Structure 1
Amino acid sequence: MAKGITTEELDALTDAELLEKLKEAKEELFNLRFSAVTHRLEDSGRLKEVRRDIARIYTVKRERELGTRTAPAAEK
């Protein structure tokens, strides 16, 4: 079972929190890549997982821009 972020969790976040999650995920991806290069990475599947999390965050962010998905603060 994947340990990544679900879209339901991302839907519950505000835009500011979403950007913070994106920043954290990008930092984690950088650290994982660094570990992979220095041969200290134990869980290589985590790289794929974090990349997909970043893609999910970008997708939710873009859908909010287009108006197909709303942020929690924008709801009635």
Structure 2
Amino acid sequence: MPDIDFYRAEIERMRAQVGRQRKEILQLQRAGVATAAAELLLGRMLAKIEGLCVERDRLKKEQGGPTKGRVLGGRSW
């Protein structure tokens, strides 16, 4: 089973891909080319990222990571 670092790296990699895909869709739209298929792919990529984030959060919770809302290095008063 992959560890939390794998999920973090995969999320980061896929977010970069999504950025490139969005730029490509904009270029196609400016050129007047149909982008329906590219937008469907983008939707699937975003859904995949969401699933990876859920799994990452589950693993983080299991490992007893910092509680939500706390700032790293924040004051403890």
TM-score range, shorter chain: 0.5 to 0.7
Query: Higher RCO, 1 or 2 (CA under 8 Å, sep at least 6)?
Result: 1
RMSD over equivalenced CA pairs, Å: 2.0
Q: Unaligned regions of 5+ residues in structure 1, if any?
A: 1-12, 69-76
Q: Give the TM-score normalised by structure 1.
A: 0.55
Structure 1 stretches of at least 4 aligned residues deviating more than 2 Å after TM superposition? none
Is structure 2 residue 17 aligned with structure 1 residue 29? Answer: no
Q: State the TM-score, normalized to the length of structure 2.
A: 0.54
Gaps of 5+ in 2: 1-8, 57-77
Aligned match for 2:14, one of 7, 13, 18: 18
| Number of aligned residue pairs | 48
* Identity value in percent: 6
